[in-house]
């Protein structure tokens, strides 16, 4: 009895100590994070000298949309360009492009601004100034949501859960705004494609292992902070614990969070010795090798934010539900808990809510432990020492810190329309506009040797040598193949020689092409 009493007192003492650390960290780090974020924005930012000046952000965004860049023009795919120089000019260096979450995220930001203006009786500004800019991004999203692109980490070209989730939200709320301001011609199409994306989102769920697969390609497990970030981005307090949109308190989101966090428990030296039910430092994904693959401040904060968001909803509805899917998550905190719904008046509800709150605070405490004394947040902190690493003063690190703090305070975002959505019974992809592309390559071969092609987009098999597409030698030594590719798309490709199981790739650099908006494209390559 004495042992259990001492153990209990020890645990209570640890929780109190953690709470004190978190409260102190919030008080000191909050102002630093806000200042750090603002320092990186606009010409007046102390660390963003040279940024294009304008008193309002809308003209800058409008101007950027019109800049011709490596992803294309405003009408040929340029809206998917992820990077510009600080003065607003095109960045022409090598990069993971296009990234189709960008137009969706911009659309959500503009829609939020537009809704606020409407509430303050400024609908005319929304119609005349915001809508023309917003519509470009919404149209792009509706057209290209089903086309592969690089993920938010800018490394894998595939379908990505975060991108799909952001696109779904953008079109869903964009359709409602369009209806509100009389732009009825686009409403049906936006809603139709939003339904299609919602259906597609369900295919990322791995029911056997209990997590959301982040990317459809890339050769990884798919256990990735991508999905945690998607859950908090799509938090809608009116949607309850809806699993179809991966709301933070949904059984799938909680199961996914546990799998993700547990994947890092033995990944980093700084996590060694931490109990299996306590918070740990987390990174992007366990296979990460960028800067040796360290924990990130923003991903660790995101775990806390998802849990705080879940607590907001449980408090709002005065109950929480344990399902077979979320059972393992809740049993971290109460090993004997059973499936069922627990009202706020029950001791089980009280126990679980308190434990989840302490668990969430633990992730903030981890970041606090590895934040330097001046509060500067880098991109990462070293997996062995905890010393800040990679990019210094990362805007996203500061922003993630502030939004996690806000969620802990109980800040409730506006609903974006996730409540009561029904998943279509049949998923319908939107291939968007396509063009015919004929690939010709002059290549001399030996008997039994054949030429194949693969490349950076789904239609070119995503760089897979196993499923690379065979070319015809009918006009030897010219090998040819005609394919249907998405229009307005930049892509890279290579030819492959195969003979008796041996595979030889065309040497670097990759071949680069852009499909036109319509018509056809014919390439003339040579590989000797």
* Catalytically active residues, by annotation: 151, 154
Element of type H or E holding 455? strand 450-455
Report the C-alpha gap between 344 and 351 in whole angstroms: 10
Task: Please give the distance of CA 24 from its chain centroid, rounded to a whole number.
Answer: 30
Q: What are phi and psi of 31, to 5 degrees?
A: -60, -35
CB atoms within 10 A of CB 418: 23
As a residue count, the chain comes to 528
Say what the alpha-carbon torsion angle 132, 138, 142, 145 is, to the nearest 10 degrees.
140
Report the C-alpha gap between 166 and 172 in whole angstroms: 10
Cα four-point dihedral sign 10, 14, 15, 19: positive
CB atoms within 10 A of CB 248: 26
The answer to whether residues 302 and 404 touch, using CB atoms and an 8 Å cutoff, is: yes
Report the C-alpha gap between 101 and 225 in whole angstroms: 15
The answer to whether residues 407 and 67 touch, using CB atoms and an 8 Å cutoff, is: no
Give the residue from 344, 245, 270, 263 showing the smallest Cα distance to 303.
263
Element of type H or E holding 380? strand 380-381
């Amino acid at each position: 009895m004495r042992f259990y009493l001492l153990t209990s007192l020890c645990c209570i003492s640890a929780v109190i100590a953690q709470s004190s650390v978190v409260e102190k960290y919030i008080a000191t780090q909050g102002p630093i994070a806000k200042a750090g974020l603002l320092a990186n924005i606009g010409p007046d930012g102390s660390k963003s000298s040279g940024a294009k000046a304008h008193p309002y952000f809308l003209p800058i965004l409008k101007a950027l949309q019109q800049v011709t860049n490596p992803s294309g023009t405003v009408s040929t795919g340029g809206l998917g360009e992820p990077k510009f120089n600080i003065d607003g000019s095109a960045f022409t260096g090598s990069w993971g492009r296009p990234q189709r979450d960008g137009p969706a995220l911009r659309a959500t930001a503009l829609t939020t601004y537009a809704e606020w203006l409407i509430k303050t009786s400024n609908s005319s500004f929304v119609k005349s100034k915001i809508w023309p800019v917003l519509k470009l991004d919404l149209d792009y999203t509706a057209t290209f949501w089903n086309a592969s692109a690089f993920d938010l980490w800018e490394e894998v070209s595939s379908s990505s859960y975060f991108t799909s989730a952001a696109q779904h939200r953008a079109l869903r709320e964009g359709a409602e705004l369009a209806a509100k301001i009389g732009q009825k011609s686009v409403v049906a199409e936006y809603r139709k494609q939003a339904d299609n994306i919602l259906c597609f989102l369900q295919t990322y769920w791995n029911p056997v292992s209990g997590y959301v697969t982040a990317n459809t390609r890339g050769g990884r497990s798919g256990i990735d902070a991508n999905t945690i970030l998607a859950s908090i981005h799509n938090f809608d307090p009116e949607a309850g614990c809806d699993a179809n949109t991966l709301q933070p308190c949904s059984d799938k989101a909680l199961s996914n969070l546990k799998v993700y966090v547990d994947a890092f428990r033995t990944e980093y030296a700084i996590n060694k010795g931490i109990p299996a039910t306590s918070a740990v430092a987390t990174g992007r994904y366990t296979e990460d090798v960028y800067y040796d693959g360290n924990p990130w401040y923003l991903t660790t904060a995101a775990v806390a934010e998802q849990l705080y968001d879940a607590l907001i909803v449980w408090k709002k509805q005065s109950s929480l539900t344990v399902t077979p899917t979320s059972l393992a998550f809740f049993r971290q905190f109460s090993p004997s808990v059973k499936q069922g719904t627990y009202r706020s008046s029950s001791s089980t509800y009280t126990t679980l809510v308190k434990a989840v709150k302490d668990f969430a605070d633990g992730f903030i405490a981890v970041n606090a432990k590895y934040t330097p004394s001046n509060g500067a947040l880098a991109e990462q902190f070293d997996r062995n020492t905890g010393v800040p690493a990679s990019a210094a003063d990362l805007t996203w690190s500061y922003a993630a810190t502030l939004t996690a703090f806000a969620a802990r305070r109980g800040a409730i975002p506006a609903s974006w329309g996730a409540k009561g959505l029904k998943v279509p019974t049949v998923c319908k992809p939107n291939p968007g506009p396509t063009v015919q592309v004929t690939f010709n390559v002059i290549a001399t071969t030996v008997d039994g040797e054949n030429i194949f092609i693969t490349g950076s987009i789904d239609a070119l098999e995503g760089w897979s040598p196993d499923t690379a597409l065979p070319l015809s030698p009918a006009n030897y030594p010219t090998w040819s193949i005609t394919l249907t590719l998405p229009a307005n798309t930049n892509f890279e490709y290579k030819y492959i020689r195969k003979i008796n199981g041996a595979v030889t790739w065309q040497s670097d650099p990759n071949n680069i092409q852009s499909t036109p908006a319509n018509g056809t494209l014919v390439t003339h390559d040579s590989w000797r």
